[in-house]
Amino acid sequence: MEQLTYTLLAYINNSLEKDINDSIARSFLQHIHNIETFSLDSVAEMCNVAPSTINRFCKRIGFRNFSSLRKSVILSKKTDPTVGNPQQVLDASTFKKQFQENIDLIDQIPVEHINRLVKRLKKSNKIVILSFERYQIQTVELQKKLLLLGKFCECSTNLFKQMKTLDDLTEDDLIIMISIQGHLLNEELPLIKKLRTSGGHKWLITFSDQLADQAEFDDVIRCGFSENHAVSSHTLLRLFDVLEQWMLERAHME
C-alpha cells in the first residue's frame, strides 16, 4: 500500500494539468485504505468515470489494469505484515544504540567480501534492485549513487514490472534484493519463484542471520540485526554511503 501511495503522490506532485487523471489519483488517495475492497465498476462510480478510464489511468502509473493494481496492494501485505500499522518510534538513546550496533556490523564486513561486491558491481551489464514499500526512498538513493558512479540500474517498485524485468536477465547481470526481515522470500509470493529461474548474479541485503545461507543468492550482505529493524531505513542509507565509498576508493587504486 505504501508503494501505491508513493506512486499516486508522485503522479500528483509532477502533474502539469489538473485533468481527469489527477482527479482519479486524488480519489484513490482519499480511499487508499479501501482500494483492495473495490471492484472496477465501484471504483469507476466513485471517480465518476467509465471503467475503461480507470484501467487507462492504472496503465499510466505502471499497472496493467485496476485488477493488477488491486492485487499489488494485497501482495504488499504479504511482503510486509507491518503494512498499515504504525512504525515503532524509539527513544533517542535506544535509537542511537541500535543504529550504532548496525553500523558496527557493516564495518565488520570482510575486505575480501567488499572487493568481491565492488568487482561484481563494476562488471555487471544490467543491475536490477528489488524492494518494496517503506524502502522505496532508500532504493532510489542507491540508484542515484550508482548512476553517478557510471552504473545505471532499474528499481521499479511495481511487483509485476519487476517480475517482467527478471525475464530478460543474463549471467552478466546483477539482481540486488532488499528484504530486511525476509518477508519478500515468502513462498506464497510469485517473486521468489521467479527469482529462482532468473539469470543474473543475485545479492540479498538483509538483517536476518537465518538467511545467510539462502541458496537462491550468490552473496548475502547482512547489515543489521533483526531486533534493530526500527532503524532499518537509516541503516540502509549508511550501507549505501559505505558502498559508494568502497567503489570510489577502489577506483582510485586502479
> What confidence tens digit (pLDDT) does each residue in 165-186 have?
888 899 999 999 998 888 777 7
The domains of the chain are located at 2-79, 92-253
Mean pLDDT of the chain, nearest integer = 87
Task: Note whether 212 and 140 are within 8 A (CB).
Answer: no
92-253 folds as Rossmann fold (3.40.50)
User: What pTM was computed for the model?
Assistant: 0.78
For residues 100 and 94, what is the distance between their CA atoms, to the nearest angstrom? 10
Calculate the CA dihedral of residues 57, 58, 60, 64 and round it to 10 degrees: -140
Residue 140 CB contacts under 8 Å (≥ 6 apart), including other chains: 155
2-79 folds as Arc Repressor Mutant, subunit A (1.10.10)
Residue 87 pLDDT > 80? no
Phi, psi of 155 (to 5 degrees): -145, 45
Nearest to 187 by CA among 69, 84, 79: 79
Least confident interval from 130-134, 155-159, 169-173: 155-159
